[in-house]
Amino acid sequence: MGDKKKLGLAVVGCGVVGRMRAQLASDFPGIGWIGLSDTNEALGTTLKEDIGADFHTTDFKELIARPEVDAVIIATSTWAHTEPTLAAVDEGHMMMIEKPLATDARESAEVLAAIESAGVDAVVGYTQRFRRRFLVVKERIQTGQIGDITAAVTRAFMNRMAPTGEVRLTQDRCFLTPMVVSGTHSLDMCLWLMGDAAKPVSVYARSTEKVMSELGTKDATFGVFTMADGTIWSMNICWALPKEWPGAVYGLEIGIVGTKGVIDIEDTHRDVILATEMPQGPAYNPDGLKIDVERNVDFLTSFPPGDIHRGELWGPMREETNTWFQRIYNKKDTPHATAAEGHRNLMLTMAMDLSAKTGKEIELPLDPADLMRELEA
Which residues in this chain contact ligand NAD in the complex, by CB under 6 A?
12-18, 37-40, 43, 60, 75-78, 80, 98-99, 125, 127, 169, 286, 304-305
As measured in angstroms, the least distance from the Cβ of 165 to ligand NAD is 7
As measured in angstroms, the least distance from the Cβ of 175 to ligand NAD is 12
CA distances (Å), origin 347, targets 204, 304, 310: 14, 23, 40
As measured in angstroms, the least distance from the Cβ of 309 to ligand NAD is 18
Q: Is the Cβ of residue 246 or residue 282 nearer to ligand NAD in the bound state?
A: 282
Assess contact for 73 and 50: CB atoms under 8 A: no
Q: Is the Cβ of residue 346 or residue 364 nearer to ligand NAD in the bound state?
A: 346
Q: What are the backbone dihedrals phi and psi of residue 259, each rounded to the nearest 5 degrees, phi first?
A: -70, -20
As measured in angstroms, the least distance from the Cβ of 213 to ligand NAD is 21
Cα separation, 287 vs 303, in Å, equals 17
Residue closest to ligand NAD, measured at CB: 15
Q: Is the Cβ of residue 184 or residue 231 nearer to ligand NAD in the bound state?
A: 184
Q: Is the Cβ of residue 98 or residue 319 nearer to ligand NAD in the bound state?
A: 98
As measured in angstroms, the least distance from the Cβ of 272 to ligand NAD is 19
With 0-12 / 13-18 / 19 or more C-beta atoms within 10 angstroms meaning exposed / middle / buried, residue 301 is middle
Q: Is the Cβ of residue 224 or residue 348 nearer to ligand NAD in the bound state?
A: 348
As measured in angstroms, the least distance from the Cβ of 103 to ligand NAD is 9
| Residues facing residue 253 across a β-bridge | 155, 266
CA angle 199, 204, 210 (to 5 degrees): 130
**135: Cβ–Cβ under 8 A, 6 or more apart, which residues?**
129, 335
Cα separation, 248 vs 273, in Å, equals 11
Q: Is the Cβ of residue 70 or residue 98 nearer to ligand NAD in the bound state?
A: 98
Residue 76 C-beta-side C-alpha neighbours within 13 Å: 22
